[in-house]
């Protein structure tokens, strides 16, 4: 509780009381106001009221100071969106599934569970970002482990042969994935490139690749699904136009990592392919079982996509990085090109670990 404001009816009553009150009464009043008696008397004196005077003091009106922050911001009002969102396309990038590869953290059953998690995550994103016109799936190769013993397909490291990888595992799994997503969008386009693990012999022709057998088998399995289109590769790359923006897709084995770092060699190769193809906006590669991003030039960039497989010693030995089963999703807008991007974790065992610090600002001086 505080003293009344100056020049109010309550203030005049307070002054009259103070001028005529005894010390005991002043002490009682100060106690009622929650202040010390000497503080009460001091505050009255500061306002020009002195004991022994019988006239009401002539006090200037109280000045109120309004603080204006510097600089004075012209705050923009937070507007709520009106109407519907702009229509976009969605792209899912899946890479390096290596079906039939066996590690301490990976096998065919784990691969299926991870693809199911990718499926449900994609469905959630489609519903979140509607209207979605079309779904594109970029398959960046090494969908199958293959049979080449020089590429990790030795006894104990692979659960079945190439025939089973294609017809018993790969085709049913990807048919389920694409058909399920086709129920939520008008069209699905599956754009595939082949990887190096599908090459079983150096003498084989360019298109004799187990990945291509998978894509062709998938095309036959979905022939009656009129809104699903399978694009089997004829070259080592695919060049796709989505809403006027070009996407360049390769597996990535065409690039040789220097000192375990693929970015330097990848950027140089991407620059050459950019010139050869007359330009593109976005490049996507896989193969190195780790994620990375870099600029090609001021008009284009490229992304090295992480794998679905985990525990593969090749990545740790060659690149020096342990992989995490993350797959990518992003939107494509008529004006802005690639928009929102999601890094979709397909296995909860690989979610980031929290630190025990209390929530808030970390005091680096105590580290």
CATH of the domain at 98: 3.60.21.10
Q: How many CB atoms neighbour CB 90 within 10 A?
A: 23
What is the spatial distance between Cα 61 and Cα 7, in angstroms, rounded to a whole number?
A: 7
**203, 160 in Cβ contact below 8 A?**
no
**308, 324 in Cβ contact below 8 A?**
no
Whether residue 311 lies inside any domain: the answer is yes
Arithmetic mean of pLDDT, 249-265: 82
Whether residue 274 lies inside any domain: the answer is yes
Q: Are residues 322 and 294 in the same domain?
A: yes
Q: Are residues 151 and 187 in the same domain?
A: yes
Whether residue 360 lies inside any domain: the answer is no
Phi, psi of 187 (to 5 degrees): -145, 150
pLDDT band at 182 (very low <50, low <70, confident <90, very high): very high
Q: Are residues 94 and 172 in the same domain?
A: yes
Higher pLDDT, 193 or 202: 193
What is the spatial distance between Cα 215 and Cα 209, in angstroms, rounded to a whole number?
A: 10
Q: State the Cα angle at 322 between 152 and 113, rounded to 5°.
A: 75
Would you state the pLDDT for residue 210? 93
Q: Are residues 234 and 298 in the same domain?
A: yes
Angle between helix 9-20 and helix 23-33 axes, rounded to 10 deg: 140
Whether residue 359 lies inside any domain: the answer is no
pLDDT, one tens digit per residue, over 59-82 is 555 566 666 667 777 778 888 877
Q: Are residues 62 and 122 in the same domain?
A: no
Q: Are residues 4 and 145 in the same domain?
A: no
Whether residue 81 lies inside any domain: the answer is no
Mean pLDDT of the chain: 88
Q: Are residues 167 and 263 in the same domain?
A: yes
Whether residue 142 lies inside any domain: the answer is yes
pLDDT band at 287 (very low <50, low <70, confident <90, very high): very high
Whether residue 173 lies inside any domain: the answer is yes
What is the spatial distance between Cα 235 and Cα 287, in angstroms, rounded to a whole number?
A: 17
Whether residue 367 is predicted with pLDDT greater than 60 in this model: the reply is no
Here the tokens at position 167 are 């017809």
Q: How many CB atoms neighbour CB 275 within 10 A?
A: 10
The parent domain of residue 19 ranges over 1-74
Q: Are residues 70 and 92 in the same domain?
A: no
Work out whether strand 132-139 and strand 88-94 pair parallel, antiparallel, or are unpaired. Answer: parallel
What is the spatial distance between Cα 350 and Cα 352, in angstroms, rounded to a whole number?
A: 6
- Overall domain count for the chain: 2
What is the spatial distance between Cα 217 and Cα 162, in angstroms, rounded to a whole number?
A: 13
Whether residue 28 lies inside any domain: the answer is yes
Q: Are residues 46 and 158 in the same domain?
A: no
What is the spatial distance between Cα 64 and Cα 272, in angstroms, rounded to a whole number?
A: 70
Domain boundary residue among 33, 52, 74? 74
What is the spatial distance between Cα 58 and Cα 79, in angstroms, rounded to a whole number?
A: 51
pLDDT, one tens digit per residue, over 196-207 is 988 877 777 788
What is the spatial distance between Cα 71 and Cα 213, in angstroms, rounded to a whole number?
A: 66
Q: Are residues 282 and 183 in the same domain?
A: yes
pLDDT band at 366 (very low <50, low <70, confident <90, very high): low
HSE-CB for 111 with a 13 A CA cutoff: 28
Q: Are residues 19 and 114 in the same domain?
A: no
């Amino acid at each position: 509780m505080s003293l009344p404001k100056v020049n109010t009816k309550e203030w005049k009553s307070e002054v009259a009381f103070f001028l005529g009150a005894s010390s005991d009464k002043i002490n009682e009043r100060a106690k009622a106001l929650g202040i010390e008696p000497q503080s009460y008397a001091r505050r009255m004196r500061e306002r020009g009221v002195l004991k022994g005077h019988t006239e009401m003091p002539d006090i200037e009106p109280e000045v109120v100071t309004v603080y204006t922050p510097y600089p004075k911001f012209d705050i923009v009002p937070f507007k709520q969106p009106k109407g519907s969102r702009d229509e976009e396309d969605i792209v899912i990038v899946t890479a390096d599934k290596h079906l039939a590869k066996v590690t301490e953290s990976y096998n065919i059953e784990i691969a299926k569970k991870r693809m199911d998690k990718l499926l449900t995550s994609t469905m959630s994103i489609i519903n979140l970002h509607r209207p979605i016109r079309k779904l594109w799936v970029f398959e960046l190769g090494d969908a199958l482990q293959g049979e080449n013993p020089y590429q990790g397909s030795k006894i104990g490291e692979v659960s079945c042969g190439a025939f089973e990888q294609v017809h018993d595992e790969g085709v049913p799994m990807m048919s389920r994935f694409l058909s399920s997503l086709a129920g939520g969008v008008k069209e699905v386009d599956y754009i595939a490139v082949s990887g190096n693990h599908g090459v079983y012999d150096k003498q084989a022709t360019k298109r004799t690749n187990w990945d291509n057998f998978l894509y062709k088998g998938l095309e036959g399995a979905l022939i009656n699904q009129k809104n699903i289109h399978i694009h089997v590769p004829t070259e080592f790359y695919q060049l796709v136009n989505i809403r006027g923006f070009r996407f360049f897709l390769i597996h990535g084995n065409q690039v040789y990592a220097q000192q375990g770092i693929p970015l330097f060699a990848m950027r140089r190769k991407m620059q050459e392919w950019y010139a050869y193809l007359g330009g593109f906006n976005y490049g996507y590669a896989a193969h190195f079982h780790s994620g990375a991003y870099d600029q090609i030039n001021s008009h284009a960039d490229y992304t090295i996509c992480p794998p679905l497989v985990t525990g593969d010693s090749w990545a740790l030995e060659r690149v020096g990085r342990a992989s995490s089963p993350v797959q990518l999703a992003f939107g494509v807008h008529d004006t802005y090109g690639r928009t929102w991007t999601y890094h979709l974790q397909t296995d909860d065992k690989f979610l980031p670990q929290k630190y025990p610090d209390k929530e808030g600002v970390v005091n680096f001086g105590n580290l």
